[in-house]
Amino acid sequence: MGIPKSKLPLFIQQKIERDNGNELVRNAPRYKSRKVQTPHGIMDSGAEADYYELLLLREKAGDIKDLIRQVPVYLFIGRYRHMRVDFRYFDNHIGEMVWDEYKGAETAEWRMKRDLWAAYGPGLYRVTRKIHGAFENFLEIRPNPKLELVEAVIRAAGVDAVKDIIKTITQV
């Protein structure tokens, strides 16, 4: 008769599913999110898929335009650092490009990316969460233009010139 599949350890259940041809089964999810197959492709969670549907409705209504998913962003911090943002679109109400991330749970990796965006991001970074069944903008980050200016000076003048300036300032 055997043991029912539901009583087996999760990694064995997943192996059985993969062997049966289910490619969506991966390692156990860390925060109870599950990959979801939608007509628009595979999404990281059901809530992210629902949020994408909402963004598609906003695009149809004319609130936003040029909506794209899984946008690679390269931040220059001495070397290029790669991160992937869930969505990017042009918000017609504020007249600028928005990088939008749906977040279910905060992770240490996400907190690091959030801090890097504040210093080096290319534009408005919006974090959306589902709170009490409704999507809400949880956080908006605009990069600090002073840091961008400092980075531009370093690139233009060169590191040695900046070191000389700092040395001169600290001697005063």
Class of the CATH-defined domain 33-141 = alpha beta
> Does pLDDT of 87 surpass 80?
yes
43 C-beta neighbours (distance < 10 Å), count: 23
CB 96 within 8 A of CB 124: yes
Please report the pLDDT score of residue 25 as a whole number.
Answer: 47
CB 52 within 8 A of CB 87: yes
How do residues 98-145 score in pLDDT, each as one tens digit?
Answer: 999 998 878 887 888 888 888 788 889 999 988 888 888 888 988 875
Determine the straight-line distance between the first and last CA of the chain, rounded to whole angstroms.
85
Across the range 76-92, mean pLDDT stands at 83
CA distances (Å), origin 168, targets 70, 157, 172:
45, 15, 7
Spatial distance between the Cα atoms of 35 and 26, rounded to a whole number of angstroms? 9
Q: Which residue has the higher pLDDT, 91 or 77?
A: 91
3-state secondary structure 121-134: CCCEEEEEEEECCE
Q: Please, which residues have CB within 8 angstroms of residue 43's CB and are 6 or more apart in sequence? A: 35, 36, 49, 52
Token pair of 117, please? 């965006």
How do residues 48-81 score in pLDDT, each as one tens digit?
Answer: 889 999 999 999 999 999 999 999 888 766 666 7
Please report the pLDDT score of residue 134 as a whole number.
Answer: 87
